[in-house]
């Protein structure tokens, strides 16, 4: 499975490790992804999503249904 947030689209970034002697080697910055289950009361079912922690905070603040609808309108899902 890829390391991409379903809602926000956050994904792996590429950068450099820089040593004390200023030697640069490639490295990867991974998003903070968590697997979380959410209950959708309108349909009465549970959904498992792979989300970044910022997306989880947004869902906790606004609710699962409005957040999913907002991202569907933007075309990110």
Q: What is the token pair recorded at 64?
A: 């699962």
Residue range 52-64, pLDDT digits in tens? 999 999 999 999 9
Question: Residue 7 falls within a domain, yes or no?
Answer: no
Domain ranges, residue 49: 13-74
Question: Residue 1 falls within a domain, yes or no?
Answer: no
Cβ 4 vs Cβ 74: under 8 Å = no
Question: Residue 67 falls within a domain, yes or no?
Answer: yes
Question: Residue 4 falls within a domain, yes or no?
Answer: no
Question: Residue 47 falls within a domain, yes or no?
Answer: yes
What is the domain count for the chain?
Answer: 1
Question: Residue 52 falls within a domain, yes or no?
Answer: yes
In sequence order, what are the residues at sequence separation of 6 or more whose Cβ sits closer than 8 angstroms to the Cβ of residue 59? 7, 38, 51, 67
Give dist(CA 25, CA 62) in Å, integer: 41
Residue range 24-59, pLDDT digits in tens? 999 999 999 999 999 999 899 999 999 999 999 999
Question: Residue 2 falls within a domain, yes or no?
Answer: no
| CATH number, domain with residue 39 | 2.30.170.40
What predicted TM-score, i.e. pTM, was given to this entire model?
A: 0.79
């Amino acid at each position: 499975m890829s390391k991409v947030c379903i809602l926000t689209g956050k994904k792996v970034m590429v950068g450099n490790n820089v040593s004390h002697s200023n030697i640069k080697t490639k490295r990867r910055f991974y998003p903070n992804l968590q697997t979380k289950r959410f209950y959708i009361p309108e349909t009465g079912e549970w959904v498992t999503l792979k989300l970044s922690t910022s997306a989880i905070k947004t869902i906790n603040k606004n609710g699962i249904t409005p957040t999913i609808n907002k991202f569907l309108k933007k075309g990110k899902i």
